[in-house]
Amino acid sequence: MKNETRKNQENIFRELFQKNYGTPMSVSSESLNHKKQRFSKVCDIFKDDNDITIHDVGMGVADLYGFIQESHSQKKILYSGTEILKEYVEEASVRFPDLAFFHRDIAEKSFDDTYDYLLMSGVFHQRRESSIRQWEKFYQEIIKNSFAMCKKGIAFNFISPFVDFYQTPVYYCNLPKLINFINDDLSRFFEIKHDYALYEFTVFVYQESYIKSKTVQPEFQKYFKND
């Protein structure tokens, strides 16, 4: 039985896709430049890597892959994605027939496939009919399950709570709640970038094993768990 949040999400995005086919609004983006700004911030998580696997959770029609082809062509990146809306999965498969796209719900569970990085862009913006409590449970499930599937880290964005006005269907992230969730359930290794034009911020959360692998100083080894 599908949960309410998922049903709401599918209805919103199906309608947007049908009404705005071929435009950024088909995945609820204001403009191409808004999307590029968001993607560029999320992709900063792999700026020092050259050969990686990434998985786009809530990929829409895989516009992020188009951005990666344009802006990170010098890197070797194996891209794949997951989406709950069948119409988006079909459209992404037509656009990029050689790539793997999964029609599945990452809010339900984590899956066995793993990647260096999992990215979520624009997935937690449109709360619509879901209550704030339902939405916070929903984003925590997706983020937790995505984190379980990453070898290095995850990147995602939220609308900032520091805005000029509110719109009811939008989720303005409760930052203290988010930070406590990250530290308690995921990892104490994280970054928050609240430094760009949009009323949004981008978060990176890293696996402890990844940070440990980059920390060579013997005197710092005591700060990591031994596993």
Residues found near ligand SAM in the complex (CB under 6 A)? 6, 9, 13, 27-28, 35, 57-60, 63, 82-85, 88, 105-107, 121-123, 142
Smallest distance, ligand SAM to C-beta of residue 138, A? 7
Alpha helices by DSSP H, listed for the chain, are: 4-19, 32-43, 63-71, 86-95, 132-148, 175-181, 208-213
Nearer to ligand SAM, 82 or 187 (CB): 82
- In the complex, what is the shortest distance from the CB of residue 45 to ligand SAM, in angstroms, rounded to a whole number? 15
**Least Cβ distance, residue 57 to ligand SAM (angstroms):** 6
Q: Give the C-alpha distances (Å, rounded to integers) separating 65 from 29, 81, 150, 153, 196.
A: 16, 9, 18, 18, 22
Considering beta carbons, is residue 84 or 173 the nearer one to ligand SAM? 84
Eight-class DSSP state of 153? E
Nearest distance from C-beta of residue 179 to ligand SAM, angstroms: 22
Q: Considering the complex, state which of residue 88 and residue 101 has its C-beta at the smaller distance from ligand SAM.
A: 88
How far, CA to CA in Å, does 139 sit from each of 30, 58, 209, 225?
22, 12, 24, 27
For ligand SAM, the closer of residues 122 and 153 by Cβ is: 122
Residue 77 has a CB neighbour count (10 Å cut-off) of: 20
